[in-house]
Amino acid sequence: MNIHALNINTANNAINTRTMLVSINISQWQGRMLDRRVTSEINDIHNATSDAGRYNKLLLNPKAFRKINSIAGRIRNGFYERTLPWMDDGQRIMSAHSYPDFVAWFNTEATEFHAAKEEFIADYPAYRDERHKELGDMYNPYDYPSVEDLATKFSLTRTIMPVPSGQDFRVDIAQAQVDQIRDDIERNVQTATMNAINDVYTRLSDVTSRMFEKLENYKPSFRVGDKAEGIFRDSLVENVRDLIKVLPALNITNDTSLFVIGKRMEALVRHDAEELRLNSHLRKSVAEEAKAINKEINNFLA
Protein backbone atom coordinates (compact mmCIF):
# COMPACT_ATOMS: atom_id res chain seq x y z
CA MET A 1 0.00 0.00 0.00
CA ASN A 2 1.44 3.35 -1.08
CA ILE A 3 -0.80 5.75 0.82
CA HIS A 4 1.56 8.36 2.17
CA ALA A 5 3.46 6.28 4.70
CA LEU A 6 5.79 9.24 5.17
CA ASN A 7 2.91 11.59 5.94
CA ILE A 8 1.44 9.13 8.40
CA ASN A 9 4.75 8.67 10.21
CA THR A 10 5.35 12.38 10.60
CA ALA A 11 1.71 13.08 11.52
CA ASN A 12 1.32 10.14 13.88
CA ASN A 13 1.88 12.25 16.99
CA ALA A 14 -0.43 15.03 15.75
CA ILE A 15 -3.24 12.60 14.98
CA ASN A 16 -4.14 12.65 18.67
CA THR A 17 -4.71 16.41 18.68
CA ARG A 18 -6.56 16.93 15.41
CA THR A 19 -8.89 13.92 15.39
CA MET A 20 -11.41 12.25 17.67
CA LEU A 21 -13.11 8.89 17.97
CA VAL A 22 -16.88 8.85 17.74
CA SER A 23 -19.53 6.17 18.04
CA ILE A 24 -23.30 6.16 17.95
CA ASN A 25 -25.69 3.67 19.47
CA ILE A 26 -29.23 3.16 18.21
CA SER A 27 -31.55 0.97 20.25
CA GLN A 28 -34.96 -0.07 18.95
CA TRP A 29 -37.67 -2.48 19.95
CA GLN A 30 -37.67 -5.18 17.30
CA GLY A 31 -41.18 -6.49 17.96
CA ARG A 32 -40.22 -10.14 17.59
CA MET A 33 -40.97 -13.00 19.95
CA LEU A 34 -40.07 -16.69 19.89
CA ASP A 35 -43.28 -18.71 20.07
CA ARG A 36 -42.27 -21.97 21.71
CA ARG A 37 -45.74 -23.52 21.37
CA VAL A 38 -45.98 -22.94 17.64
CA THR A 39 -42.35 -23.99 17.17
CA SER A 40 -43.08 -27.29 18.88
CA GLU A 41 -46.26 -27.82 16.86
CA ILE A 42 -44.51 -27.17 13.53
CA ASN A 43 -41.60 -29.47 14.38
CA ASP A 44 -44.08 -32.18 15.42
CA ILE A 45 -46.10 -31.82 12.21
CA HIS A 46 -42.95 -32.37 10.15
CA ASN A 47 -41.58 -35.12 12.40
CA ALA A 48 -38.57 -32.89 13.11
CA THR A 49 -36.44 -32.70 16.22
CA SER A 50 -37.07 -29.93 18.73
CA ASP A 51 -34.03 -27.98 17.54
CA ALA A 52 -34.87 -28.22 13.83
CA GLY A 53 -36.30 -24.70 13.66
CA ARG A 54 -37.69 -21.79 15.60
CA TYR A 55 -40.82 -19.80 14.91
CA ASN A 56 -40.49 -16.08 15.63
CA LYS A 57 -43.67 -14.02 15.62
CA LEU A 58 -43.80 -10.48 14.33
CA LEU A 59 -45.74 -8.84 17.14
CA LEU A 60 -46.75 -5.87 15.00
CA ASN A 61 -47.38 -5.45 11.32
CA PRO A 62 -44.03 -4.52 9.66
CA LYS A 63 -45.56 -1.26 8.40
CA ALA A 64 -45.58 -0.02 12.00
CA PHE A 65 -41.77 0.09 12.05
CA ARG A 66 -41.31 1.52 8.57
CA LYS A 67 -40.78 5.17 9.48
CA ILE A 68 -38.50 4.78 12.50
CA ASN A 69 -36.48 2.04 10.78
CA SER A 70 -35.99 4.31 7.79
CA ILE A 71 -34.71 7.15 10.00
CA ALA A 72 -32.42 4.81 11.95
CA GLY A 73 -30.98 3.44 8.70
CA ARG A 74 -30.42 6.96 7.41
CA ILE A 75 -28.58 7.88 10.62
CA ARG A 76 -26.30 4.85 10.36
CA ASN A 77 -25.51 5.61 6.72
CA GLY A 78 -24.89 9.28 7.49
CA PHE A 79 -22.58 8.32 10.35
CA TYR A 80 -20.52 6.04 8.12
CA GLU A 81 -20.34 8.70 5.40
CA ARG A 82 -18.95 11.30 7.85
CA THR A 83 -16.43 9.05 9.60
CA LEU A 84 -13.74 6.48 8.90
CA PRO A 85 -13.20 2.97 10.32
CA TRP A 86 -11.08 2.65 13.46
CA MET A 87 -10.07 -0.62 15.11
CA ASP A 88 -12.90 -3.15 15.50
CA ASP A 89 -14.83 -1.84 18.50
CA GLY A 90 -17.51 0.21 16.76
CA GLN A 91 -15.66 3.50 17.15
CA ARG A 92 -14.83 5.54 14.06
CA ILE A 93 -12.55 8.50 13.52
CA MET A 94 -13.08 12.00 12.13
CA SER A 95 -11.21 15.28 12.09
CA ALA A 96 -11.75 17.58 15.06
CA HIS A 97 -12.61 20.63 12.93
CA SER A 98 -15.62 18.76 11.53
CA TYR A 99 -17.07 18.22 15.01
CA PRO A 100 -19.47 21.24 14.94
CA ASP A 101 -20.94 20.08 11.62
CA PHE A 102 -21.20 16.53 12.95
CA VAL A 103 -23.05 17.69 16.07
CA ALA A 104 -25.44 19.83 14.00
CA TRP A 105 -26.17 16.85 11.73
CA PHE A 106 -26.59 14.48 14.68
CA ASN A 107 -28.92 16.82 16.57
CA THR A 108 -31.14 17.24 13.51
CA GLU A 109 -31.34 13.50 13.00
CA ALA A 110 -31.91 12.89 16.73
CA THR A 111 -34.87 15.27 16.69
CA GLU A 112 -36.47 13.28 13.85
CA PHE A 113 -35.67 9.96 15.50
CA HIS A 114 -37.27 10.96 18.81
CA ALA A 115 -40.30 12.43 17.03
CA ALA A 116 -40.75 9.15 15.15
CA LYS A 117 -40.37 7.27 18.44
CA GLU A 118 -43.11 9.33 20.08
CA GLU A 119 -45.35 8.82 17.06
CA PHE A 120 -44.72 5.07 17.19
CA ILE A 121 -45.52 4.91 20.91
CA ALA A 122 -48.71 6.93 20.43
CA ASP A 123 -49.86 4.53 17.70
CA TYR A 124 -48.66 1.41 19.52
CA PRO A 125 -51.99 0.44 21.14
CA ALA A 126 -53.75 0.62 17.78
CA TYR A 127 -50.98 -1.39 16.08
CA ARG A 128 -51.22 -3.99 18.86
CA ASP A 129 -55.00 -4.29 18.53
CA GLU A 130 -54.72 -4.59 14.77
CA ARG A 131 -52.14 -7.36 15.13
CA HIS A 132 -54.48 -9.25 17.47
CA LYS A 133 -56.67 -10.01 14.47
CA GLU A 134 -53.74 -10.78 12.16
CA LEU A 135 -52.02 -13.25 14.51
CA GLY A 136 -55.17 -15.17 15.27
CA ASP A 137 -54.54 -17.95 17.79
CA MET A 138 -50.86 -16.99 18.06
CA TYR A 139 -51.75 -13.68 19.72
CA ASN A 140 -50.66 -13.50 23.36
CA PRO A 141 -51.14 -10.22 25.26
CA TYR A 142 -48.26 -11.09 27.59
CA ASP A 143 -45.82 -10.87 24.66
CA TYR A 144 -46.28 -7.11 24.53
CA PRO A 145 -44.46 -4.54 26.68
CA SER A 146 -46.46 -1.78 28.33
CA VAL A 147 -46.39 1.66 26.78
CA GLU A 148 -44.12 2.82 29.61
CA ASP A 149 -41.65 -0.05 29.09
CA LEU A 150 -41.76 0.42 25.35
CA ALA A 151 -40.48 3.99 25.66
CA THR A 152 -37.29 2.73 27.33
CA LYS A 153 -36.49 0.43 24.42
CA PHE A 154 -35.66 3.29 22.03
CA SER A 155 -32.55 5.42 22.35
CA LEU A 156 -30.01 7.29 20.25
CA THR A 157 -26.71 8.36 21.79
CA ARG A 158 -23.29 9.51 20.64
CA THR A 159 -19.95 9.07 22.38
CA ILE A 160 -16.77 11.05 21.77
CA MET A 161 -13.36 9.77 22.85
CA PRO A 162 -9.76 10.88 22.27
CA VAL A 163 -7.43 8.93 20.01
CA PRO A 164 -5.13 6.92 22.31
CA SER A 165 -1.48 7.88 22.68
CA GLY A 166 1.31 5.70 23.99
CA GLN A 167 2.66 8.63 25.98
CA ASP A 168 -0.56 8.74 28.00
CA PHE A 169 -0.08 5.20 29.23
CA ARG A 170 1.07 5.26 32.87
CA VAL A 171 0.87 2.11 34.96
CA ASP A 172 2.96 1.01 37.91
CA ILE A 173 4.75 -1.90 36.25
CA ALA A 174 8.30 -2.49 35.02
CA GLN A 175 9.54 0.27 32.70
CA ALA A 176 10.42 -2.22 29.97
CA GLN A 177 6.84 -3.47 29.94
CA VAL A 178 5.50 0.09 29.90
CA ASP A 179 7.72 0.91 26.92
CA GLN A 180 6.53 -2.21 25.09
CA ILE A 181 2.87 -1.36 25.67
CA ARG A 182 3.44 2.23 24.54
CA ASP A 183 5.09 0.96 21.36
CA ASP A 184 2.14 -1.36 20.78
CA ILE A 185 -0.32 1.51 21.21
CA GLU A 186 1.57 3.72 18.74
CA ARG A 187 1.83 0.87 16.24
CA ASN A 188 -1.89 0.14 16.52
CA VAL A 189 -2.73 3.82 16.05
CA GLN A 190 -0.53 3.97 12.96
CA THR A 191 -2.09 0.83 11.49
CA ALA A 192 -5.61 2.12 12.17
CA THR A 193 -4.70 5.46 10.60
CA MET A 194 -3.37 3.73 7.49
CA ASN A 195 -6.59 1.71 7.22
CA ALA A 196 -8.72 4.83 7.67
CA ILE A 197 -6.87 6.70 4.91
CA ASN A 198 -7.13 3.66 2.67
CA ASP A 199 -10.90 3.79 3.21
CA VAL A 200 -11.00 7.41 2.00
CA TYR A 201 -9.09 6.65 -1.20
CA THR A 202 -11.20 3.54 -1.78
CA ARG A 203 -14.38 5.61 -1.53
CA LEU A 204 -12.96 8.12 -3.99
CA SER A 205 -11.95 5.35 -6.35
CA ASP A 206 -15.38 3.74 -6.19
CA VAL A 207 -17.39 6.88 -7.02
CA THR A 208 -15.07 8.06 -9.80
CA SER A 209 -14.83 4.63 -11.45
CA ARG A 210 -18.59 4.26 -11.31
CA MET A 211 -19.01 7.70 -12.84
CA PHE A 212 -16.76 7.24 -15.86
CA GLU A 213 -18.02 3.70 -16.49
CA LYS A 214 -21.66 4.80 -16.41
CA LEU A 215 -21.04 7.85 -18.60
CA GLU A 216 -19.00 5.89 -21.13
CA ASN A 217 -21.61 3.12 -21.40
CA TYR A 218 -24.61 5.42 -21.73
CA LYS A 219 -26.28 5.45 -25.15
CA PRO A 220 -29.22 7.84 -25.47
CA SER A 221 -32.27 7.09 -27.57
CA PHE A 222 -32.37 8.96 -30.85
CA ARG A 223 -35.82 8.02 -32.10
CA VAL A 224 -39.24 8.03 -30.53
CA GLY A 225 -39.97 4.64 -29.06
CA ASP A 226 -36.32 3.68 -28.65
CA LYS A 227 -34.89 3.10 -25.19
CA ALA A 228 -31.63 4.52 -23.89
CA GLU A 229 -28.96 1.98 -22.95
CA GLY A 230 -26.85 2.03 -19.80
CA ILE A 231 -29.21 4.40 -18.01
CA PHE A 232 -27.72 6.18 -14.99
CA ARG A 233 -29.62 7.89 -12.21
CA ASP A 234 -29.27 11.32 -10.65
CA SER A 235 -27.50 9.69 -7.70
CA LEU A 236 -24.44 9.16 -9.94
CA VAL A 237 -23.66 12.86 -9.57
CA GLU A 238 -25.15 13.29 -6.10
CA ASN A 239 -22.94 10.56 -4.61
CA VAL A 240 -19.83 12.35 -5.87
CA ARG A 241 -21.14 15.67 -4.59
CA ASP A 242 -21.88 14.17 -1.15
CA LEU A 243 -18.39 12.70 -0.87
CA ILE A 244 -16.76 16.01 -1.80
CA LYS A 245 -18.80 17.69 0.92
CA VAL A 246 -17.60 15.37 3.70
CA LEU A 247 -14.04 14.95 2.41
CA PRO A 248 -12.56 17.61 4.75
CA ALA A 249 -13.96 15.70 7.74
CA LEU A 250 -12.33 12.51 6.45
CA ASN A 251 -8.91 14.07 5.85
CA ILE A 252 -7.61 13.12 9.29
CA THR A 253 -3.91 13.51 8.38
CA ASN A 254 -4.29 16.88 6.66
CA ASP A 255 -3.21 15.22 3.42
CA THR A 256 -2.64 17.85 0.71
CA SER A 257 -3.25 15.25 -2.01
CA LEU A 258 -6.79 14.73 -0.73
CA PHE A 259 -7.41 18.48 -0.86
CA VAL A 260 -6.18 18.56 -4.47
CA ILE A 261 -8.29 15.56 -5.48
CA GLY A 262 -11.34 17.08 -3.81
CA LYS A 263 -10.90 20.31 -5.77
CA ARG A 264 -10.44 18.40 -9.03
CA MET A 265 -13.60 16.38 -8.38
CA GLU A 266 -15.65 19.57 -8.26
CA ALA A 267 -15.45 19.56 -12.07
CA LEU A 268 -17.43 16.30 -12.04
CA VAL A 269 -20.45 17.83 -10.32
CA ARG A 270 -20.79 21.21 -12.04
CA HIS A 271 -23.57 19.75 -14.15
CA ASP A 272 -26.47 17.63 -13.01
CA ALA A 273 -27.24 14.17 -14.34
CA GLU A 274 -29.87 15.36 -16.80
CA GLU A 275 -27.40 17.71 -18.49
CA LEU A 276 -24.96 14.82 -18.84
CA ARG A 277 -27.65 12.68 -20.44
CA LEU A 278 -28.54 15.35 -22.98
CA ASN A 279 -25.09 16.65 -23.91
CA SER A 280 -22.76 14.03 -25.42
CA HIS A 281 -19.72 16.36 -25.51
CA LEU A 282 -20.19 17.30 -21.87
CA ARG A 283 -20.74 13.67 -20.95
CA LYS A 284 -17.50 12.65 -22.68
CA SER A 285 -15.53 15.45 -21.05
CA VAL A 286 -16.73 14.58 -17.53
CA ALA A 287 -16.11 10.88 -18.14
CA GLU A 288 -12.53 11.59 -19.21
CA GLU A 289 -11.90 13.76 -16.16
CA ALA A 290 -13.40 11.13 -13.83
CA LYS A 291 -11.19 8.50 -15.45
CA ALA A 292 -8.06 10.63 -15.04
CA ILE A 293 -8.86 11.34 -11.39
CA ASN A 294 -9.59 7.65 -10.79
CA LYS A 295 -6.20 6.70 -12.25
CA GLU A 296 -4.46 9.14 -9.92
CA ILE A 297 -6.38 7.81 -6.91
CA ASN A 298 -5.54 4.23 -7.79
CA ASN A 299 -1.84 5.13 -7.92
CA PHE A 300 -2.12 5.92 -4.18
CA LEU A 301 -3.87 2.60 -3.59
CA ALA A 302 -1.31 0.57 -5.57
User: Quick one: pLDDT band at residue 140, thresholds 50, 70, 90?
Assistant: very high
- Lowest pLDDT segment from 49-58, 187-196, 284-293: 187-196
- Residue 78 within any structural domain of the chain: yes
Instruction: Based on the fold, state whether residues 152 and 220 are members of the same structural domain.
Output: no
Q: How far apart are CA 22 and CA 108, in angstroms?
A: 17
pLDDT computed for residue 78 by the predictor:
95
Domain shared by 129 and 251, yes or no: no
- For residue 211, tell me if it sits in a domain: yes
Give the per-residue pLDDT at 222.
75
- Asked if residue 209 and residue 162 are part of one domain, the reply reads no
Provide DSSP, 1-53.
Answer: --S-HHHHHHHTTTHHHHEEEEEEEEE----EEE-HHHHHHHHHHTT--TTS-
User: Which one of 148, 166, 184 terminates a domain?
Assistant: 166
Task: Give the Å distances, CA to CA, from 73 to 68, 194, 272.
Answer: 9, 28, 26
In-domain check, residue 172: no
Instruction: Decide: helix, strand or coil at residue 156.
Output: strand
- Give the amino acid at 63: K
- The span from the first CA to the last CA of the chain, in angstroms, equals 6
- The answer to whether residue 191 is domain-embedded is no
If one compares 183 and 117, the residue with the highest pLDDT of the two is: 117
Query: pLDDT tens across 175-223, in order?
Result: 666 566 566 667 777 888 888 899 999 999 999 999 999 999 999 887 7
Could you give the percent of the chain with pLDDT greater than 70?
88
- pLDDT bin (cut points 50, 70, 90) of residue 254 is confident
> Quick one: 22 and 160 in the same domain?
yes
pLDDT at residue 186 in the model: 73
Among 144, 166, 188, give the residue marking a domain's end: 166
Question: Based on the structure, what is the number of domains in the chain?
Answer: 2
62, part of any domain: yes
Instruction: Say if 106 falls within a structural domain.
Output: yes
Question: Is residue 150 domain-resident?
Answer: yes
Whether residues 67 and 160 share a domain: the answer is: yes
Residue 80 has pLDDT above 50, yes or no: yes
Are 150 and 252 in the same domain?
A: no
Pair (126, 33) in one structural domain: yes
Looking at 116, 137, 166, the residue that finishes a domain is: 166
12, 84, 110, 228 from 222: Cα distances, Å: 56, 44, 48, 8
Confidence of residue 1 (pLDDT cuts 50, 70, 90): very low
Domain that holds residue 111: 18-166
If asked whether residues 295 and 214 sit together in one domain, one would say yes
The arithmetic mean of pLDDT across residues 19-47, rounded, is: 92
| % of the chain exceeding 90 in pLDDT | 64
What's residue 9's pLDDT?
Answer: 46
Same domain for 156 and 273, yes or no, is no
| Residues 130 and 269 both lie in one domain | no
Residue 2 lies in a domain: no
22 and 156 part of one domain: yes
Which string of DSSP letters, residue by residue, matches 218-235? -B---STT---BS---TH
Same domain, residue pair 141 and 273 = no
